[in-house]
Amino acid sequence: MSNGPTVAIAHDYLTQRGGAERVVLSLMKAFPGAPVHTTLYDPEGTYPEFADADIRTSPLNRIGVLRRDHRLALPLLAPASSRMHIDADVVVASSSGWAHGFRTTGRTVVYCHNPARWLYQTDEYLGGPAWRSPLGPPVLALRPLLRRWDRRAADGVDVYLANSRVVQQRIEATYGRDAELLPPPHGMDASAPREPVPELADWDTGYALVVSRLLPYKNVDAVIEAVRGTGRRLVVVGHGPEEARLRATLPDHVRLLGGLGDAQLRSTYAGAGVLVAASHEDFGLAPLEAAAFGVPTIALRGGGFLETVVEGRTGLFFDRADAPSIAAALALSERHDWHSDTMRTRAEQFGESRFIDRIRSVALGDGQSERGMDRYAP
């Protein structure tokens, strides 16, 4: 890229494994050699591929407890983000609330996963009324100041890209900005090597599967309650602040695996009979990952799942994130006639090469928005 503009990548924090971090890995493929700027970086907590990248962090990264739990850094992240100075012609920022505020003299393209959920969907983020959460009072106290900071940061962005139609609408409502729709890549290659998971060595295939961060709004507890007392086998893959509470009353036929490497995650997807997605998501990534393995999804009807799950063909919906609704959808899924080729074809529509081509075009070149994203429609 020496003959073109210099490009840098920005991301809020690299402390966990999730869809947003997978987007950064795709951005690294789109812009080889581009440095990655972030407030916090925990090599043990996120994907190992970042070890080979040029990661540049804020001074907050010197504080180990903040690397291990970025939520503790909330009062410090706005000033830390404002002090991140990036020397590049183009900054491509993967942002859920902070990286869009990093400073640069160049052009900024923001791939927005959601306007800051803790500022604009506070109760949902905390899993209930804010005053009931230990994080609630500090979040509410800081919210007016952080909203002003957030709006100023948004005003400095040159181009917004939205990962879903829901987020596209939120960007317009929150910032008054138009954003092109560019769904993220699912990033799960079903043909890549797999590694057995020791905790599942004595289990046959066909179990229900949850792949999710363990946060209140993900409703993993409701999925566990849906199978409690039924003997239906359930595997939960993920880490988060809800982990200890969930483990405390886990039935014998439910396995909570924590985080897995990609090779083990591929093996876990391949052995599943159905994916359960019970959270309020801005983009429904996990159903596409499951579809790449020919595995159907039962999902909460709403948000990003409406964009990635094709009802009756790649999954079924339930209308409430409670145990009876999830249990009923699981029973319906068992009786449904699924076709794995249909699901794999759907996953291919959201492949990584499509994402890389478009993000490079927007960042480097044509300045044109690609409207009419019918290719992603069911």
The residues facing 315 across adjacent strands are 297, 311
Residue 38 near residue 14 (C-beta atoms within 8 A): yes
Range of the domain at 309: 198-348
**Same domain? 52 vs 180:** yes
With respect to residue 191, please indicate whether it lies within any of the assigned structural domains: no
| 203 shares its domain with 341 | yes
19 shares its domain with 144: yes
User: Which pLDDT value is given to residue 368?
Assistant: 43
Asked whether residue 193 is assigned to any structural domain, the reply reads: no
151 domain residue, yes or no: yes
From 242, 256, 257, 34, select the one nearest 25 (Cα to Cα).
34
Is residue 2 assigned to a domain? no
**d(C-alpha 358, C-alpha 375), whole Å:** 14
Q: Is the dihedral of CA 303, 304, 307, 309 positive or negative?
A: negative
For the chain, how many structural domains are there in total?
2
Question: What whole-number distance in Å separates Cα of residue 77 and Cα of residue 57?
Answer: 12
247/242 Cα distance (integer angstroms):
9
pLDDT for the residue 261: 87
Q: What's the order of all strands across the beta sheet hosting 315-318?
A: 254-258, 234-237, 207-211, 272-277, 297-300, 315-318
How long, in residues, is the chain?
378
Instruction: Report the pLDDT value the prediction gives residue 365, as an integer from 0 to 100.
Output: 80
Give the Cα separation of 153 and 147 in Å (integer): 10
Residue listed under structure tokens 């076709």: 339
CA dihedral 43, 48, 54, 60 (to 10 degrees): -20
CA distances from 100 to 86, 92, 104, 131, 349 (A): 12, 9, 10, 28, 28
Q: Is residue 192 part of a domain?
A: no
Residues 138 and 229 in one domain: no
- Max Cα-Cα span within the chain: 63
The DSSP line for 72-107 is GGHHHHHHHHHT-EE-SSEEEEEESSSGGG-EESSE
* Same domain (yes/no): 70, 129: yes
**In a structure prediction context, what are the per-residue pLDDT tens digits for the chain, which is 378 residues long?**
456 899 999 999 999 888 899 999 999 999 999 999 999 999 999 999 999 999 999 999 999 999 988 888 888 999 999 999 999 999 999 999 999 999 998 999 999 999 988 888 887 777 678 777 777 788 888 899 999 999 999 999 999 999 989 899 999 999 999 999 999 988 788 999 999 999 999 999 999 999 998 988 899 999 999 999 999 999 999 988 899 999 999 999 999 998 788 899 999 999 999 999 999 887 888 999 999 999 999 999 998 899 899 999 999 999 999 999 999 999 999 999 999 999 999 998 888 888 999 999 999 986 444 443 444 455
Query: Residues 45, 142: one domain?
Result: yes
161 part of a folded domain: yes
Helix 165-175 / helix 136-155 crossing angle, nearest 10 deg: 80
Q: Do 368 and 334 sit in the same domain of this protein?
A: no
The torsion angles phi and psi of 176, rounded to 5 degrees, stand at: 70, 30
Q: Are 38 and 99 spatial neighbours (Cβ–Cβ below 8 Å)?
A: yes
Whether residue 270 sits in one domain with residue 221? yes
The CATH number of whichever domain residue 243 belongs to comes to 3.40.50.2000
Residues 257/268, Cβ–Cβ less than 8 Å? yes
Compute, in degrees rounded to 10, the torsion defined by CA atoms 259, 265, 267, 271. 90
- DSSP-based three-state secondary structure for 257: strand
Regarding whether 180 and 217 lie in a shared domain, the answer is: no
Under DSSP, the state recorded for 61 is: G
Give the per-residue pLDDT at 189: 87
Q: How many CB atoms lie within 10 A of CB 160?
A: 22
**Burial annotation 113-137 (CB, 10 A radius, 16+ → b, else e):** bbbbbbbbbbeebbbeebeebebbe
**For residues 29 and 56, is the Cβ–Cβ distance under 8 A?**
no
The pTM score is 0.75
Is the domain of 299 the same as that of 367?
no
- Classify residue 326: in a domain, yes or no: yes
Assess whether 181 and 272 both reside in one domain: no
Is there a single domain that holds both residue 44 and residue 114? yes
| 232 belongs to a structural domain | yes
User: Using the 8-state DSSP alphabet, how is residue 25 labeled?
Assistant: H
